[in-house]
A = this chain, B = another copy of it.
């Protein structure tokens, strides 16, 4: 049955007068979220107290929810587990992959990666010692830089600024041919487009849930470990909930079975409850339908902006298959333009130095939103409404 996008949209609470093109930064609130979290607080925490870990299933949530996300990213059942933040999961995946390739010392990434991934890799290299290095090349030079000096290829599939999409299947194959393990960051992929981790033979993957997966501010991350690696990968962050028998309280660490060894501490039950409300919506979705409609919406947006706003320069690939679920444009006054747009109800993101970023997801954005946003952007550009001191003061932190 084809995905019913009108029904999906009706399951989100969207403020009046807002066209929200920033679900790729923080997804909007599912209408069911407050009730679901309220239930977790008053009926589970409030009434079950400590027994909620068993009776309400809190302890099993990270794996159970991982399986629901696995479907959206082409992962095997039992290969995804929730917890921590994306940066922490990057560290875990990198540390495990480096140890599995012990003769090599280089992490290869690209300058289009999200900075926090690079920071975490840099931190890990410093902890491991001076032999270890993080090497970054331009996104278009990644394939050529994969050689037998590289231990791990760490790539964010979709560039957070431009939306340019790497070819996961091709890069993973190249990496494996050179004896390189892969860590894929799906921050701008999960819920944005079909991902095929198992089919691509990916080794590790990580992602967050507060963007396209709409889990709310501070929602937890996920980590994928290919089944063939699960009993080999050592959790460098070896917390008790990744232990084979957490409640034996043994003094020695023994990693648990499967991907659950990548759990660290107590799972964020309230954030996971919000995520569950969102996954109830995602369960109704076919990712192929999402992808087709996302490309159509963005093609429409790009055509409209290019026709009406010649001073904005497309920064995203024109070919829908080459990009994620966003369209970005460059303008030297990008910051002020975005503030002016936000003041008029078109919410996107500014990303330094000059990127206006607009995220599209058919779960709650339709053609009418696209057309209206084009008109508002045209008006702001035609009348230079952004040219106000109030829009040029950089007080905004995100």
Interface residues of A (CB under 8 A from B): 13, 15, 18, 20, 22, 25-26, 28-29, 33-34, 37-38, 40-42, 44-47, 49-54, 58-59, 84-88, 91, 95, 111, 114-116, 118-120, 122-124, 126-129, 136, 208, 210, 216-221, 234-241, 243, 246-253, 264-272, 274, 342, 347, 349, 351-352, 395-398
Residues of B within 8 A of A87 (CB): 237, 239-240, 264-265
Residues of B within 8 A of A396 (CB): 54
A41-B29, A250-B115, A398-B50 known; A264 and B88 CB under 8 Å? yes
Q: Are A216 and B45 in contact (CB under 8 A)?
A: yes
Q: Are B398 and A247 in contact (CB under 8 A)?
A: yes
Interface centre among A49, A221, A234 (most CB of B within 10 A): A49
Known: A58-B217, A58-B218, A247-B397; 16 extra A-B contacts, CB below 8 A, are: A22-B50, A26-B50, A53-B397, A53-B398, A54-B398, A86-B265, A95-B127, A115-B249, A116-B239, A119-B239, A123-B253, A216-B270, A218-B266, A218-B270, A268-B268, A270-B274
A45-B217, A128-B127, A265-B85 known; A251 and B118 CB under 8 Å? yes
- Across chains A and B, which 8 residue pairs bring their CB atoms closest together, nearest first? A85-B265, A123-B238, A116-B240, A217-B269, A87-B239, A218-B268, A119-B253, A87-B265
Partner of A47, one of B15, B128, B241: B15
Counted per complex, copies of this chain come to: 2
Mind listing 23 A-B residue pairs with CB under 8 Å? A13-B46, A15-B47, A22-B49, A22-B50, A26-B45, A26-B49, A26-B52, A28-B46, A34-B41, A41-B274, A44-B217, A58-B217, A85-B264, A86-B266, A87-B239, A87-B265, A88-B239, A119-B243, A208-B266, A216-B269, A248-B352, A268-B271, A270-B270
Residues of B within 8 A of A351 (CB): 249
Q: Are B218 and A397 in contact (CB under 8 A)?
A: no
Q: Are A119 and B240 in contact (CB under 8 A)?
A: yes
Residues of B within 8 A of A119 (CB): 238-240, 243, 253
Residues of B within 8 A of A251 (CB): 111, 115, 118, 136
Residues of B within 8 A of A51 (CB): 342, 347
Q: Cα distance A58–B217 when bound, in Å?
A: 8
Q: Are B239 and A120 in contact (CB under 8 A)?
A: yes
Q: A19 → chain B, closest Cβ, in Å?
A: 11
Partner of A265, one of B115, B221, B349: B221
Residues of B within 8 A of A28 (CB): 46, 49
